[in-house]
Amino acid sequence: MSKAIAVAVICFSTWLAFGQTQTSQPLNAKTGLWQITQTTTWTGLPPQYAAAMKNGQPKSYTSCIKAKDLSSNPWAEPGSHCAWTVLKSNGTDMETRGSCQQDDGTTADAHATIHLSDSEHGTGNVDLTLANNGQTMKGHATYTGKWLGATCTQ
């Protein structure tokens, strides 16, 4: 019986130690208006989508980031219809996985990372797999983010 208790205590201690190391901290970024610039390179892109997807061309957008967004994927493009799960985050670096469903039936799986150089600047990457009408497209995007100010204009 004492061996069973000892095993239970060891398992519980291991669980506590593992649980404590897996805690996530929100990104240590300023809230407010951010400008995000992304460049995405696609493979398997059908010709009819090439112009619309702007393969390899930089695209910028602004996003109003609130405190709650710093515990998810704050750089997700507005209106992207994605559910994000944080895999790990320590305040400076965040790794997330996203599952997306667009109105046209396109589905996407994404794996994203963000690295903050300070509370006003960061970089990131995302790998995407899109599926629609039996076609699969893969994309890799690089991001830069810059804080513009505390007040959002959107």
Q: Count of domains in the chain?
A: 1
Residue 12: what are its φ and ψ, rounded to 5°? Answer: -65, -45
| Inside any domain, residue 154 | no
| Inside any domain, residue 71 | yes
| Inside any domain, residue 43 | yes
Q: What is the pTM of this model?
A: 0.78
| Inside any domain, residue 39 | yes
Average pLDDT, whole number, for the chain?
Answer: 82
| Inside any domain, residue 31 | yes
Over residues 85-125, the pLDDT tens digits come to: 999 999 999 999 999 988 888 899 999 999 999 999 999 99
| Inside any domain, residue 3 | no
Cα 94 to its chain centre, rounded Å, is 8
Residue 128 or residue 1, greater confidence: 128
Annotate 125-139 with b (16+ C-beta within 10 A) or e (fewer).
Answer: ebebebeeeeeebeb
Angle of CA points 84, 59, 86, to nearest 5°? 15
Determine the Cα–Cα distance for residues 54 and 56; give it in Å rounded to an integer: 6
| Inside any domain, residue 16 | no
Cα 144 to its chain centre, rounded Å, is 13
Domain carrying residue 45: 25-149
Annotate 6-18 with b (16+ C-beta within 10 A) or e (fewer).
Answer: eeeeeeeeeeeee
| Inside any domain, residue 113 | yes
